[in-house]
Chain A
Amino acid sequence: MSDLRLADLTVTYGRRSRTVAVDAFTDAVHAGEWLGLIGPNGAGKSSLLRAIVGLVAHRGEIEIDGRRVREMSDRERAALVAYVPQQPLIPDDMTAREYALLGRSPYIGYFGSETRRDRAVVDEVLARLTLEEFADRLLGELSGGERQRVVLARALAQQAPILLLDEPTSALDIGHQQQALELVAELRRHDELTVVSAMHDLTLAAMYTGRLTMLDHGRVVASGAAIDVLTAARLRAVFDVSVTVDVDTDGATGESRVIVVPRRSLPAP
């Protein structure tokens, strides 16, 4: 379990135009917390995640348990932060097991190779994600949902206390979306993972994450509980969309769920 602290994190693109993708983002994600990043396309969600894993240059500070990420080696960082990109590059001619084993890289010496322990970790992860039967199948032969799980398996094999997910479910049907998010929720609870995920589906984001931060043009527009962040007025302002936000309270548990329903601007045919 680890705390992730971001202070004045700023990402700019382009030498001349200086497009600001993330503007002085400051937040602290506590161990075991799940932060959902929402916002329209180009709001800076992906850039924020990519900056944390060192894929884009940034200003400001990123700290994990009080240690600056900037001062860590690539390997040290990889042992602390696992990242699932929006569109992972999946080699068709690799087996699911070989692919998941790549997640052990941060623990293998420069000239070393996988140990029995690394293989055991991968077997355990594959079993947890009910992927045993696919372990020796080529990735090119798997369905979209199965591949998504294999990518998650690689990230979990990294055994990093912080998990970053960039649109983890955008390529999945509703059943697999739910399955994948349930899985992350269960892993977060069980392993006390700190999760930061960029998400498009606002209802799912509200349902699974503990806290939401809405970005627009690189700036934080709102942050807090879903019920406070997802208001119809704010969604109209940020996403330029007309929606109804329903709050549905479960009679038995007393938990409330926020449901965002788009509204047609023309009457239904």
Chain B
Amino acid sequence: MDTARRDRIWLIAGGAFLLVAVVVGASTGPAGPDWWRVPAELVNRLPLIAFDTGVSEAEWKIVWQIRMPRVVLGGLVGGMLSIAGASYQGVFRNPLVDPYLLGAAAGAGLGATIALTIGRGVTASWPVDPVPTIAFVFALATVMVTYTVGAAFGGSRSGVTLVLAGVAVVSFATALQTFLLQRNLEVIREVFQWILGRLSGATWSDVRLVVPYVVVSSIVLMLHRRHLDVFRVGDEEAATLGVSVGRTRLVIVVAATLGTAAVVSVSGLIGFVGLVVPHVVRLIAGAGHRRLLPLSLMGGAAFLILADVPGRMLTRPAETPIGVVTAFIGAPFFIYLLRTRKVAS
């Protein structure tokens, strides 16, 4: 079987997994219609199709206004973090890298802390909720600082200096955040909740907020699939093959960071997804970026949608933070996969 055909089969499988995840996500929840009526109703709502599924308008409202935004946002966040993680890992040729490497998360955390310290009392009258906006701006600014520091000392060709600069800048931002928190103990709980990440309370307007970033960033990253494959032979050899290493890396990092900053500012810091999903895809479908990027996008989306299900069902009415669930399900699965693959090879 030729490669193009195998690629197609993988993409179809990924799409099917994502579809299943969306249906499962839309069908489960503490209130609302019987779970098995939801898929039927979803089909019913398609144009040109009409039949009676026994779902009332009020029940449909729960599905469409409460569950669906959450499912879609979960998909966008999971997909974005995974494709960004896969790209970061590729461009730095480092398997331990995640999309938070250059400071997107630490910056967003610092921004959110600052926004929350200003106090809800002051910001309630503002036209936009300042937390996501300030988090977004800080995330981008932090990555920019990292890039400037890294490029100044290592030259644009050195990925290692950039990673090290990331470590330094992240520690600095975290230290600032800790200092602020220590001076404003009353917001600790709120900040902590933000850091753990959540999809609860997601609305369609949250979705609209992140969609453009996720779409643009994913398209740019997908267009660089071949470049990421060339990066696998190292910066120097990539350069002798005609790749402008510094410039290409900058484009990829900017795209991945923009999307990451956008989703982090809306959903908080959901860990683990961006690191592990690309690895799971690599282990299952191979390391070539032609498959890795689209499958990470779809697999990450499906994974986060599914991870959100136990989060809202287990400890209701309270919610388990999704970051806890992702690590709880993901870590053992990843270890299992590593083990079986090792035995197989």
Contacts and interface: CB of A to CB of B under 8 A. Distances in A.
Interface of A: 53-55, 73-79, 81-83, 85, 88-91, 93-94, 98-99, 102-103, 105-106, 108, 111-114, 158
B243 interface: yes
A89 B241 CA distance: 13
A76 B240 CA distance: 10
A82 B243 CA distance: 13
Nearest to A157: B241
Given A54-B239, A93-B282, A112-B226, 11 more contacts: A55-B240, A73-B244, A74-B239, A75-B242, A78-B240, A83-B240, A88-B237, A89-B234, A89-B237, A105-B241, A113-B226
Nearest to A83: B240
B230 A105 contact: yes
Contact of B287 (A75, A93, A106, A112): A93
The listed residue with most A CB atoms (<10 A of its CB), out of B233, B239, B287, B290, is B233
B242 A77 contact: yes
Given A54-B239, A74-B242, A79-B242, A91 B233 contact: yes
B236 interface: yes
Given A74-B244, A78-B242, A102-B229, A85 B237 contact: yes
A158 B243 CA distance: 13
A91 to B, nearest CB: 5
Given A74-B239, A79-B242, A106-B241, A94 B288 contact: yes
Contacts of B225: 113
A88 B233 contact: yes
Contacts of A114: 226
5 tightest A-B CB contacts, nearest first: A78-B242, A75-B242, A89-B234, A106-B242, A105-B241
B251 to A, nearest CB: 10
Contact of B286 (A74, A85, A88, A93): A93
12 contacts: A53-B239, A53-B240, A74-B239, A79-B242, A81-B240, A82-B240, A88-B233, A88-B237, A89-B233, A93-B287, A103-B241, A112-B226
Nearest to B2: A119
Contacts of A76: 242
B223 interface: yes
Contacts of B223: 111
A74 B242 CA distance: 4
Interface of B: 223, 225-226, 229-230, 232-234, 236-237, 239-244, 282, 286-288, 290
A158 B241 contact: yes
A77 to B, nearest CB: 7
Contacts of B241: 78, 102-103, 105-106, 158
Contacts of A112: 226
Contacts of B236: 55, 85
A117 to B, nearest CB: 15
A242 to B, nearest CB: 37
Contacts of A53: 239-240
Nearest to A101: B229
A99 B288 CA distance: 10
B158 to A, nearest CB: 13
A136 to B, nearest CB: 9
B56 to A, nearest CB: 49
The listed residue with most B CB atoms (<10 A of its CB), out of A53, A90, A105, is A105
Contacts of B282: 93
A155 to B, nearest CB: 9
B246 to A, nearest CB: 10
A78 B244 CA distance: 11
A53 B243 CA distance: 12
Contacts of B226: 105, 108, 112-114
Contacts of A102: 229-230, 233, 241
Contacts of A77: 242
Given A91-B287, A94-B287, A98-B288, A55 B233 contact: no
Nearest to A111: B223
The listed residue with most A CB atoms (<10 A of its CB), out of B237, B244, B288, is B237
Nearest to A105: B241
A201 B330 CA distance: 53
